[in-house]
Amino acid sequence: MNTVLATNQLTKQYGNQRGIRDIQLELQSGDIYGLLGPNGAGKTTILKLITGLIRPDRGTVQLFGQDLTEHYEHGMRRVGCMIESADFHEFLTASQYLRLVSQFYPELTEKHREEVLDRVGLLAVRDRRIRGFSTGMKQKLALAAAILPKPEFVILDEPTNGLDIEGTVMFRELVKHCSEERGTTFLISSHMIHELEQLCSRVGIIFDGKLHTEGYVSELLEHNQSLEQFYIHELQQAKGGTVHV
């Protein structure tokens, strides 16, 4: 398998002493990797560093075997991402927005854009202005934009926020389709631990800015009733006490 992502001693500290320290992550082609952790643990900071939205204080990020700082355009051209809340020019329609995104990828066709809108359940409203979309519809459009260029690596931050049950099922099927049919690698940060249990091949738990533990979901479930049980146990270990849920 080819290494898609490798971070080495990745560190970013903020003035309030929050941030991440010495994060070592390695994802192989086809991995579906879930990042778990409490609010403020550093999950979004990791994703922003991997995509070059912020610079590390120390450490390196390699995408597809090349250093991100030296080969940013080459690496990110193969990456789709959705980090934090979706933000749009709301006077555009869904079709117009994807057409705008696809200007960076001249090989994409109108047919492909419509196929992507159909896959996320927005084809019927493709000509409606985004300002009239619900939070869940905007989340679906952001997902559509992330997978539009047929990326080899997709990075998603809380992708099921605002999605109803039908939308959550759509998301699960979308990830499985891209992984199985295209070999797409996913890095997903989410609080929806039951979804990650069904989706992910591996998970890592971030606590207090450090990668506390990681493992294959199939192996973790051999010794735990659920991924949630494992997660709570690991937080108890990290905090040295009881975790209230």
Residue 241 in this model has a pLDDT that exceeds 50: yes
Q: What is the pLDDT of residues 158-204, one digit of tens each?
A: 999 889 999 999 999 999 999 998 899 999 999 889 999 999 999 99
pLDDT grade for 87, boundaries at 50, 70 and 90: confident
Cβ neighbour number for residue 37 with a 10 Å cutoff: 24
**What is the number of helices (H) and of strands (E) in the chain?**
9, 10
Q: What is the pLDDT of residues 33-83, one digit of tens each?
A: 999 999 889 999 999 999 999 999 999 999 999 999 999 988 898 999 998
Global model pTM greater than 0.85: yes
Residues 6+ positions from 215 with CB-CB distance below 8 Å: 202, 203
| CA gap 28, 152 in Å, rounded | 11
Mean of the per-residue pLDDT values of the chain: 91
**Are 121 and 167 in contact, with CB atoms under 8 Å apart?**
yes
